Every structure is written in C-alpha cells, then in structure tokens.
Amino acid sequence: MRDPTIATIEPTERCLTRRPRRPPRPAETPRPDTAPDGARGEVVFYGGDVRARGHDRTTKAAVARMLADLLGMDYAGEFSGAEPAAGTRYLVPAETLGPRDDLAALGIRSEADFFGGYVTHAFIASKLITHPLVRAAAVAPAGWSRAHGAALRGAVLPGRSVFSATDARRAADELLALGPVRLKDPEGVGGAGQWVVNDRAELEQHLERLGPQALGNGLVLEQNLNRVTTCSVGQVRVGPWLASYYGTQRLTRNGRGHEVYGGSTLTVMLGGLETLPERAPDEPTRTAVRQALRYHRSAFRHFPGLIASRCNYDVVQGVDDAGRWHSGVLEQSWRIGGASGAEIAALLAFRAEPGLRAVRASTCELYGAAAAAPAGARILFDGADQHGDRLVKYVEVHTDVDP
C-alpha cells in the first residue's frame, strides 16, 4: 500500500515548460510616488541578524534600494531607531522578525510597513514546521502546532521534526523503511547543514557529532530524493501591488567547486497565490502550486500572530530510490531571499507598464574572474564572497511573456 503521506503523480513536464493560460486582464495599479501626507518617506534596511553580512548583506541592501525606487521613497540606509525625517518609513529586515524584535519600536503595525515576515516563536521561521512530531508525547517547544503538521499530509515529503536523540531514532526507523533519509539543520540556508544517511549506524554517527544541545534546538528528518527540481512558489505584497509567481531554482559551482544556489527564474503575475493553480502551465507545476497554497493557508491558520508581506515556498520534485516520483514543500521563507531581486524587479516592470499581465524575472549568481552580467541587467553584487572568490549577482526582467 502506498504511504498516504506521499504526494505522487506521473510527471508530464518539468516546471516552466509551457505557457500558462491567459487570465483576465488586471486593473491598472496606481504608483505611490509619495506618502499620503505628501512626504516621500524612507526605506531602511534592518540588519539585526549577525548572519546578514558580506555579500549577503550587500545584496539584501541592494534589494532594499529597489524597494525604495518602487515605493517612490528615499533609501535611508541602516535603521537607526530614529523617527523618519519626513513621511512614513518602510522596513526591510535581513531576516524574519521574531519575539526578540519590538514591532512598535520598528514602526510595524501590519504587513504594509515592511518586506518580510514576523513570527511569534523563532522556530516557526525554520524548516521545523514542515513536518509533524514522531509521536504524541514527543518533546516540542512552546507554541508548537500539531494541527499544522496534520494539515500538511500529502503536501510535504514523508518526514519528522525531532528535539531529542530518542525521537530522532524513532523517526529514522520509520523513514529508513522508505529509503535513504536526509537530515537537516532547521536553520540551514542554501543546502548547508544537510546529510544523507542510509542506515541506523550512519544516523548514530551524526547524532553523536551533533550532541544533545543541537538536538534540543531541533532536527529535521525527511525522505531523500534524487534527480530533483526545486520549484519556487510565492507572493509579495508591496504598496498597492500584490503579485504571485511560480518558477524554478538552479545550482552553480562556487570558487571552491561546491554546488550552491545559482539563482531563480520566475513567472510573475498580478494577484495572490490563490489565483495561481488555474494559471500553472502543466501538471507538475500545478501540483507544486497547490501544495504551496496548502502550506501557506495552514501556517496562517495554525500560527496566530504570523505576519508576512513576502511569502516564498520551496517545493522539491524528484524520484526516490525505487524510481517513484514525489513532490512536496521543503520549507517556507517569510523574509527577503535569493529570489527577492526578481520579485521586486517584476513589480517595477508592472509599475512601468500597467498593461502588463505577466513577466519573467530572473536572479543569477556567477562565480569566477570572468563572471559578467549581460547588458541591461541590474547588478546586485559584484565583489568577493566569504572565501575571497569573485561573485556577481544580477537580476533581469523579460516582458514578452504570454500568460
């Protein structure tokens, strides 16, 4: 009998292979050149997390400048805590805001005041909420929602979130029956902090290496897939614009030869996530969109206090060791991310040409001395990465898309 937690269909095409059906033409959207009182207002970058440094920090600040352009505001650099000189303030946090952040002090009253998200417990912004606990009596942090995990059945891969070595062993015994298991650091970014185990002995080695303190912060165990495509599904709300998208991610090799995130290509349309299923071009993409929409709705239903103006969901599609095809949401991102340059570039295109119904927007990351952006691209970063290797990040938009 097939495991009911596995969402399986026979793939007909990969994501982004056919053009979606033409939707009704949206109404033209006004451009907010000034705040309601006539002052331009300001956009500020809030780099509160120490991880937001180097090329990552510079890239996110570049996207903040794009947001200032979109909103018709001045870019005022780093958040200082002072009141804006004139008009309103729009905040661009480097990471998802959490219980340690004072929303009132940051000037945040609703999703209209910032780009990203806010969660009431830090773990809600991590990979941990993608999977349920392994048993009813399992250890879990305050604020955990068992109903969320149950609601995602069939929208995610078989997996468990654990907070102890005992529960990690229980979860591994359950999942290894399906094949190799991927262990994930819940805070890992861009594929970092992940290991594949093939048996209980390999699991024990990783548990010993991690130690009880790391396990107490959580560990994700998930069915491992091969020959994968990672689809991106999401929506952004900035000023009067609400847009949603589907697309795919790609990998590249950094200066040390390691495979890393290399960018995203998105088809972006005006309207929210709920409008995407009818616009998706093929069955695999429709599956990814529907799974992301289920995850999105469940998170907002089961985690009260969640606020987000930027919602991105990574959906993996691939085959297991038996050759069966699967699809499932890997994680959420309620913060500025690798695809955000493309998201905001698309909104800028909609502002410039109100009659547009869809655009294709891409971010690209290239390594090496010969790395160069094509003519007309917007450079987000050109310099050295954390290892001293040349890295160029840029964004492009194409408007000749027939939705």
DSSP track, 46-96: E--STT--HHHHHHHHHHHHHHHHHHT-EEEEE--SSPPSSS-EEEEESS-
The Cα angle at residue 21 between residues 20 and 27, in degrees rounded to 5: 105
Query: Which of the 8 DSSP states describes residue 262?
Result: E
pLDDT in tens, 142-192: 999 999 999 999 999 999 999 999 999 999 999 999 999 999 999 887 667
SS3 string of 143-201? CCCHHHHHHCCCCCCCEEEECCHHHHHHHHHHHHHHCCEEEECCCCCCCCCEEEECCHH
Tokens of 148: 């969320």
Q: How confident is the model at residue 365 (pLDDT cuts 50, 70, 90)?
A: very high
Q: What is the mean pLDDT of residues 180-206?
A: 92
> Does the pLDDT of residue 17 top 70, yes or no?
no
Tokens of 134: 């392994």
* pLDDT for residue 188: 81
Determine the residue type at 225: L
The per-residue b/e assignment along 321-351, b for 16 or more CB within 10 angstroms, e otherwise, is eeeebbbbbbbbbbbbbbbbbbbbbbbbbbb
pLDDT in tens, 20-39: 333 333 333 333 444 444 56
pLDDT in tens, 288-311: 999 999 999 999 999 999 999 999
User: What is 123-224's CATH superfamily?
Assistant: ATP-grasp fold, A domain (3.30.1490.20)
* pLDDT for residue 40: 82
Cβ atoms 91, 118 nearer than 8 A: no
> Does the pLDDT of residue 16 top 60, yes or no?
no
* pLDDT for residue 48: 59
How far from each other are the two terminal CA atoms of the chain, in whole angstroms? 40
Q: Where in the chain is the domain with CATH 3.30.1490.20?
A: 123-224
pLDDT in tens, 59-87: 999 999 999 999 999 999 999 888 877 77
**Alpha-carbon gap, residue 155 to 294, rounded angstroms:** 7
CB atoms within 10 A of CB 288: 30
* pLDDT for residue 166: 96
pLDDT in tens, 250-275: 999 998 898 899 999 999 999 999 99
What pTM was estimated for this model as a whole?
0.88
Query: Which of the 8 DSSP states describes residue 114?
Result: B
DSSP string covering 292-336: HHHHHHHHHHHSTT-EESEEEEEEEEEE-TTS-EEEEEEEEE-S-
**Alpha-carbon gap, residue 261 to 26, rounded angstroms:** 33
* pLDDT for residue 82: 82
Q: What is the mean pLDDT of residues 274-283?
A: 95
* pLDDT for residue 5: 33
The helix (H) or strand (E) run that includes residue 393 is: strand 390-398
